């Protein structure tokens, strides 16, 4: 039997969309197995093919062993452009073939595809690199006492929110639900009370949960890599033909 396990995704990881079979062979039309095939998704794999669930595998007359593990599908190796060899830039240091998207005080938001400034929204913390570090405990204690006095029954900031690095969301990027939770639309992420703060300008401040995501993109497109590979193939072919002609044709 297959066990369903949840694993939190990494926002800076690359993913492959694996197509799967979600229909049955016509001979299974109207059967209970076909209904189960359409009812839920719990992918299984057999003989290099992926099925929506084990019922879909059964109604496609699969006789090979069925695996519940991850399909053996990975990112294909990409061709790199020869331009990388000429990418000499003293300002980029050891980084070759990549562009830095955001500055030191910003992170790249992979969901909105833009840079967001990172801030330390808790008094007493200062930004060092891309992390907030406590430098003034007295100021922090004053802030916590003031927040407790002004809470008026509201949920105070959580320890996670106080200690994290923050970003701002614009008003059209979130909605506050009647339950008091905040829903970030593009992130499909729910923030419970205490894990966000709505500011006077209607922006919301939340923890930058993608602060460790990469700020770099490839400087050269994959098509340039293909062009380099084609050019290299032609060059090698011509060299082989050249050597062959020299080998078989006697000198005049």
207-250 confidence digits (pLDDT tens):
887 766 666 666 666 677 777 788 888 999 999 998 888 888 77
Least confident of 19-23, 65-69, 141-145, 174-178: 65-69
Q: If residue 218 lies in a helix (H) or strand (E), which one and from where to where? A: strand 216-218
CA nearest 177: which of 204, 215, 150?
204
Cα–Cα distance, 41 to 51 (Å, whole number) = 9
Closest CA to 103 of 87, 88, 116, 93: 116
| Band of pLDDT at residue 58, cut at 50, 70 and 90 | confident
**What string of DSSP letters covers 92-139?**
GTT--SEEE-S-TTEEEETTTTEEEE-B--STTEEEETTEEEE--HHH
Angstrom distance (rounded) from CA 185 to CA 108: 17
Q: Calculate the average pLDDT of the chain.
A: 77
pTM: 0.49
Does 185 or 205 have the greater pLDDT score?
A: 205
pLDDT over 60 (residue 2): no
pLDDT digits (tens, 9 = 90+) for 90-135: 555 556 666 677 877 888 887 788 888 888 888 888 888 777 888 8
**Is residue 171 a contact partner of residue 182, using CB atoms and an 8 Å limit?**
no
Give the integer Cα–Cα distance in Å for 228 and 79.
8
- Predicted pLDDT at 91: 59
Report percent pLDDT > 90 for the chain.
9
3-state secondary structure at position 191: strand
């Amino acid at each position: 039997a297959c066990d369903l396990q949840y694993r939190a995704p990494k926002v800076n990881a690359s993913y492959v969309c694996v197509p799967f079979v979600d229909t049955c062979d016509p001979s299974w039309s109207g059967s209970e197995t076909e209904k189960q095939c359409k009812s839920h998704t719990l992918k299984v794999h057999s003989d290099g093919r992926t099925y929506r669930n084990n019922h879909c595998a059964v109604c496609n007359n699969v006789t090979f062993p069925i695996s519940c593990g991850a399909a053996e599908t990975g990112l294909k190796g990409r061709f790199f452009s020869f331009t990388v060899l000429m990418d000499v830039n003293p300002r980029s240091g050891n980084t070759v073939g990549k562009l830095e998207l955001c500055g030191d005080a910003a992170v790249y938001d992979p969901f909105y595809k833009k840079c967001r400034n990172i801030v330390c929204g808790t008094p007493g913390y200062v930004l060092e690199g891309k992390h907030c570090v406590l430098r003034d405990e007295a100021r922090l204690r004053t802030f916590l006492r003031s927040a407790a006095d002004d809470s008026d029954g509201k949920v105070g900031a959580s320890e996670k929110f106080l200690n994290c690095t923050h970003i701002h969301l614009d008003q059209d990027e979130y909605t506050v639900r009647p339950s008091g939770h905040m829903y970030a639309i593009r992130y499909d992420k729910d923030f419970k009370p205490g894990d966000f703060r709505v500011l006077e300008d209607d922006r919301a401040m939340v923890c930058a949960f993608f602060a460790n995501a990469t700020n770099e993109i490839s400087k050269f497109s994959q098509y340039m890599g293909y062009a380099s590979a084609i050019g290299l193939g032609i060059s090698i072919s011509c060299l082989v033909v050249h050597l062959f002609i020299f080998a078989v044709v006697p000198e005049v």
